[in-house]
Amino acid sequence: MALTGLEIFKLLPKTNCKKCGMPTCLAFAMSLAQKRAKLEDCPHVSEEAKQKLAAAAAPPMRKIVFGRKDLQLTVGQETVMFRHEEKFYNPTVLAVTISDKLSGNDLSSRIKAINSLQFERVGTKIGVRAIAVTNDSGSPDVFAQVCAQAAKQACPEPGRGGWSRERRANNSPADSSTSLGTSLALILVTESPQAASAALKQIKDAAGTPLLAGATAKNVEEMAKIAKENGCPLVAKAESIEALADLSEKIKAAGVDDIVLCLETASLREKLYNMTRMRVLSLKKAFRPLGYPTVSFVLGGSPEQQTAEACSLICKYSSIVVVGTIEPYAILPMLTCVMNIFTDPQKPVQVEPKVYAIGEPGENSPLMFTTNFSLTYYTVVSDVEASRVPSYILVVDTEGTSVLTAYSGDKLNEKTVADAMAKDNVASLVKHRKLIIPGYVAVMSGKLEEATSWEVMVGPRESAMLPKYLKEVWK
């Protein structure tokens, strides 16, 4: 169990040197107990104390890394129950299954379909990040062969499932933390030690570090030995929290530190309740046997049912979700849910502030501005494209806030717009001196004209009206 603040204080040097950034050793001890400080911040702590404080200093949830060298997936290491308390760090990994009963063209087509499940949303690339090969055949050799083919063929194709390459190059201002075109990670789903061993031998080096799923009370010793020998994280499967805690302790005792928990329950309601309990026990009570990321399998029902269940599990609190559907219309909502949940609430998704050309605008094309909040920008872009009027959009830096929010917070005013116009030299793009502004900030038109000496045209309040405005009002 984790040490209390006073227990930690007794092990500190008590010099009150302030080199840790805290006014006293007691304050540092309290912060360390609450996971708000790191033990290495104290320059005078003894080696003996470090060993005793290791449990208190360790994160409440272990970080697990698996996948290829060009796509290392990280799950776990979360610190809070709710996003608004701080933020969630490592997004849920979405994986899709491949049965080892498939062969030939059916197998290749399934892998190709999974590779294409890549999308782009408000400038961010999102997609399926892993393939889960299931040992439905029961044969170790067949399982190994299918794993080998999945390892060889699992590489998403840029431009599939989302925008085209041309549009992505012209209109996508935001860099993504995850690139399209990198190899998918492998999850080996089998409870057979023979199949697991055969597959790992077959894909050695080709698949990086796969996730092995998994260990049960019946096979824990053999699976833990295989995981340790191959350096793989191991999934522990059980039907109750208590059984999971016992199983994780056995796996750890066998020398495997990287564990992922899988709670196998009959109903979604029961799973959500117990997943929340596990999160509380690991984060709030620092109960180490449950201090690991989790994986959930959503394989039954229609694509729509899988979407609903997967989104529920993403919210509460599955680190990896494995689904059976390959329907893009079902996968995209799951990925959008991940994106929304794991976006830092204190840092809105932003686009780069600069001028963007929509279509092939010229010196007589309209010029308008909006803010660098991604959702605002892409909404405006979509409506300008719908008008089929080539245009320039000046994106003003408002720290990722929308038009009304930025204006009310004085992040959008005549000075910020004038500075953006000067910085990007918009006067060299068009020979006219007309600027279209959002209708919601019509009140700033007079001051903006004085600041820029441009004619300010008040556009519609809703960007959905831009096509009509550009065709009928713009001259």
* pLDDT digit string, tens, across residues 317-335: 999 999 999 999 999 999 9
Q: Is the separation of the CB atoms in 140 and 192 below 8 Å?
A: yes
Q: Is the separation of the CB atoms in 137 and 101 below 8 Å?
A: yes
Considering only residues 158 and 469, tell me which one the structure prediction assigns the higher pLDDT: 469
Q: Tell me the fold of 355-472.
A: Rossmann fold (3.40.50)
Q: What counts of helices (H) and strands (E) characterise the chain?
A: 17, 17
Burial class (CB in 10 A: 0-12, 13-18, 19+), 256: buried
Whether cis (ω within 30° of 0) applies to the bond prior to 214 is yes
Torsions phi, psi for 436 (to 5 deg): -90, 130
Lowest mean pLDDT among 236-245, 282-291, 412-421: 282-291
Closest by CA to 130, choosing from 290, 331, 423, is: 331
Q: What are the sequence ranges of the domains in the chain?
A: 5-57, 63-341, 355-472
Amino acid at 471: K
Q: Is the separation of the CB atoms in 403 and 376 below 8 Å?
A: yes
Q: Is the separation of the CB atoms in 35 and 53 below 8 Å?
A: no
- Strand pairing partners for 94? 321
Q: Could you report the per-residue pLDDT of 270-297, keeping only the tens digit for each? A: 999 999 999 999 988 888 899 999 999 9
- Is residue 196 very low, low, confident or very high in pLDDT (cuts 50, 70, 90)? very high
pLDDT of residue 468: 92
For residues 345-368, average pLDDT: 89
For residues 194-216, average pLDDT: 90
- Strand pairing partners for 237? 262
User: Are β-strands 367-371 and 391-396 bridged in parallel, bridged antiparallel, or unpaired?
Assistant: parallel
pLDDT of residue 56: 59
Q: Which residues of 40-78 are buried (b: 16+ CB within 10 A; e: fewer)?
A: eebeebeeebeeebeebbeebbbebbbbbeebebbbbbb
Largest CA distance in the chain: 79
CA distance 146 to 100: 6
pLDDT above 70 for 179 = no
pLDDT above 70 for 210 = yes
Helix (H, G, I), strand (E, B) or coil at 448: helix
Closest by CA to 118, choosing from 72, 167, 162, is: 162
Burial class (CB in 10 A: 0-12, 13-18, 19+), 293: buried
Q: Is the separation of the CB atoms in 172 and 146 below 8 Å?
A: no
Alpha helices in 369-438 (DSSP H): 374-387, 403-408, 414-423
Q: Is the separation of the CB atoms in 233 and 212 below 8 Å?
A: yes
For residues 378-392, average pLDDT: 92
- Is residue 57 very low, low, confident or very high in pLDDT (cuts 50, 70, 90)? low
Tell the residue number behind the tokens 């009206």, with chain if given.
465
pLDDT above 80 for 171 = no
For residues 327-349, average pLDDT: 89
CA distance 132 to 446: 60
pLDDT above 70 for 167 = no
In the chain, the percentage of residues whose pLDDT exceeds 70 is: 92
CA distance 173 to 373: 11
- Is residue 175 very low, low, confident or very high in pLDDT (cuts 50, 70, 90)? very low
pLDDT of residue 158: 53
For residues 185-197, average pLDDT: 95
- Is residue 407 very low, low, confident or very high in pLDDT (cuts 50, 70, 90)? very high
- Is residue 32 very low, low, confident or very high in pLDDT (cuts 50, 70, 90)? confident
CA distance 372 to 349: 9
> What integer best gives the mean pLDDT of the chain?
88
pLDDT of residue 134: 96
pLDDT of residue 182: 57
Neighbours of 388 (CB within 10 A): 10
pLDDT above 50 for 178 = no
pLDDT above 90 for 208 = no
Q: Tell me the fold of 5-57.
A: 3-methyladenine DNA Glycosylase II; Chain A, domain 3 (1.10.15)
Tell the residue number behind the tokens 């055969």, with chain if given.
198
- Strand pairing partners for 238? 263
Written as six digits, the tokens of 6 are 């006073």
Q: Is the separation of the CB atoms in 118 and 162 below 8 Å?
A: yes
Rg of the chain (C-alpha set): 27
CA distance 36 to 30: 9
pLDDT above 80 for 36 = no
What pTM did the predictor assign? 0.74
User: What are the DSSP E strand ranges found in 239-319?
Assistant: 259-263, 295-298
pLDDT of residue 180: 41
pLDDT of residue 273: 94
pLDDT above 50 for 336 = yes
For residues 68-96, average pLDDT: 88
User: What are the DSSP E strand ranges found in 155-256?
Assistant: 185-189, 211-215, 234-238
Helix (H) or strand (E) holding 152: helix 140-153
Which residues touch 371 (CB under 8 Å, ≥6 apart)?
377, 395, 396, 398, 400, 401, 402, 403, 406, 412
One CATH from 3.40.50.1820, 1.10.150.110, 3.20.20.20, 3.90.1150.10 for 63-341: 3.20.20.20
C-alpha distances in Å from residue 222, one per residue of 5, 191, 234, 454: 40, 10, 12, 75
pLDDT of residue 159: 45
CA distance 373 to 396: 9
- Is residue 355 very low, low, confident or very high in pLDDT (cuts 50, 70, 90)? very high
Q: Could you report the per-residue pLDDT of 93-148, keeping only the tens digit for each? A: 999 999 999 999 999 999 999 999 999 887 788 999 999 999 999 999 999 999 99
For residues 185-195, average pLDDT: 95
